[in-house]
Amino acid sequence: MNFSNPWFFLLLIPLFVQFILELYPNFKKDIFPQAKQNIKDINYKNINFRNHKTVRYLILFGIFCLILSTAGPQFGAKVKKVERQGVDLVIAFDTSISMNASDVKPSRIEKAKYEIGKLIQKLKGDRVSIIVFAGTSHLYLPLTTDYEAALLFLSAIDTEMIPNQGTSISSAMELAIATVKKDQNNYKVMLLVTDGEDHEGNAINLAKKAYEAGVEIHTIGVGSKIGSLIPMKQKQNDDIEYKRDKNGKLINSILNIKMLKDIAIAGGGRFFHFSNEGDNYSDLNNAIDAMEKRQINSHEYSQFEERFQPLAFISFLFFFVAFLLPTRTL
């Protein structure tokens, strides 16, 4: 048994005091304290003192039951389906310099921002968070349902926001798990947006651990099998400088589809590809919609059921009987 509004029990204190007083006083002396004796005698003849006292007790018991009813008694358990508030969607966005490659127009990073922006605009009731990563990972936007703010933060992402270059997919996964692990109700999803260059090589093992912890991982590959050179900076004469290896050779950045598929399989998710062929976010949006339906249909929980009605009815009966009981003699 439980009470939803237990502070109403404070009203029982004055009620208890009144009940104690009802047990002791001489009732005749208290009815007409200011009247003359001859008037008292006349009125006393017409009063049924026994019924009058019964009425007072009925009213006290009625107030007692009313207070108990207002306190919100709860009994037993009620099975109820959980109406999930939405998916907790953590978008891990690769901001390494290889995302400047232009094999996907106008560039990998701009294409990814466009598609993810379309996805965010389609969300309804889901919370979204953004992690940016290169050589290190950072929580760029905490979980929120403010999609306008999310779009604003998304538009400001570029490859110069993290000085420590590289592609640490593993640290992005660890941060994503930490971002969503506190909430037990929402369906947890990580979208890994990258060209697949993992410089640490531990991503697949972390994807398995993330899935075991309740975080489903979907990978989004941005780029092509042919690849592209990586523009570094533009010189004063408008010539573009491209990234080279230690030996001075130009680096051709190729989308690592195999690794991204392996991460998705290990994380219980799917692989998606952002390419030059039209809008690519629709398949991803459909997958998120499917996650919501599955989550809504799979969870139930128990809670106490409100049972104030019987006490309210008993209170009404006390008041009704007190109203009908005659306190004067004919």
Percentage with pLDDT > 70 across the chain: 78
Q: Is residue 9 part of a domain?
A: yes
Q: Which residue is associated with the tokens 């947890």?
A: 188
Q: Is residue 330 part of a domain?
A: no
| Domain that includes residue 144, residue range | 87-298
Q: Among 68-77, 95-104, 115-124, 285-294, where is mean pLDDT lowest?
A: 285-294
Residues 12 and 112 in one domain: no
Tell me the residue length of the chain.
Answer: 330
Residues 6+ apart with CB under 8 A from 211: 217, 266, 267, 268
In the prediction, which pLDDT does 297 show? 45
In whole angstroms, what is the distance from residue 266 CA to residue 254 CA? 22
Residues 242 and 309 in one domain: no
Across 11-31, average pLDDT: 70
In the prediction, which pLDDT does 26 show? 52
Q: Nearest-CA neighbor of 87 among 130, 138, 145, 171?
A: 145
Across 123-128, average pLDDT: 86
**Six-digit token pair at 132?**
């940016």
**Six-digit token pair at 305?**
């059921």
Q: Nearest-CA neighbor of 284 among 223, 227, 221, 224?
A: 221
Q: Is the separation of the CB atoms in 307 and 73 below 8 Å? A: yes
Residues 6+ apart with CB under 8 A from 27: 49, 52, 53
Residues 148 and 249 in one domain: yes
In whole angstroms, what is the distance from residue 121 CA to residue 131 CA? 18
In the prediction, which pLDDT does 236 show? 55
Measured at the alpha carbon of residue 242, what is the angle toward residues 238 and 248, in degrees to the nearest 5?
Answer: 130
Q: How confident is the model at residue 86 (pLDDT cuts 50, 70, 90)?
A: confident
**CA contacts within 13 A on the Cβ side of 69:** 15
Q: Is the pLDDT of residue 94 over 90?
A: yes
Number of structural domains in the chain: 2
E strand or H helix at 65, and its extent? helix 49-70
Q: Is residue 99 part of a domain?
A: yes
**Six-digit token pair at 113?**
């921002």
Residues 189 and 226 in one domain: yes
Residues 26 and 122 in one domain: no
In the prediction, which pLDDT does 90 show? 93
**Six-digit token pair at 328?**
């004067």
Q: Is residue 134 part of a domain?
A: yes
Residues 173 and 36 in one domain: no
Residue 136 sits in a domain of what CATH number? 3.40.50.410
E strand or H helix at 13, and its extent? helix 12-22
Cα-Cα-Cα-Cα dihedral sign, residues 31, 36, 39, 44 = positive
Residues 226 and 163 in one domain: yes
Q: Is residue 75 part of a domain?
A: yes
Q: Is residue 184 part of a domain?
A: yes
Q: Is residue 285 part of a domain?
A: yes
In the prediction, which pLDDT does 44 show? 63
Residues 47 and 107 in one domain: no
Residues 316 and 266 in one domain: no
Residues 57 and 106 in one domain: no
Q: Nearest-CA neighbor of 128 among 85, 173, 155, 91?
A: 91
In the prediction, which pLDDT does 45 show? 65
Q: Is the pLDDT of residue 108 over 50?
A: yes
In the prediction, which pLDDT does 7 show? 81
**Six-digit token pair at 67?**
């207070």
- Predicted TM-score of the model (pTM): 0.61
Q: Among 153-157, 158-162, 233-237, 322-326, where is mean pLDDT lowest?
A: 233-237
- For the chain, what is the mean pLDDT? 80
Residues 320 and 293 in one domain: no
pLDDT tens digits for range 249-285? 998 888 989 999 999 999 999 999 998 876 778 888 8
Q: Is residue 329 part of a domain?
A: no
Residues 276 and 320 in one domain: no
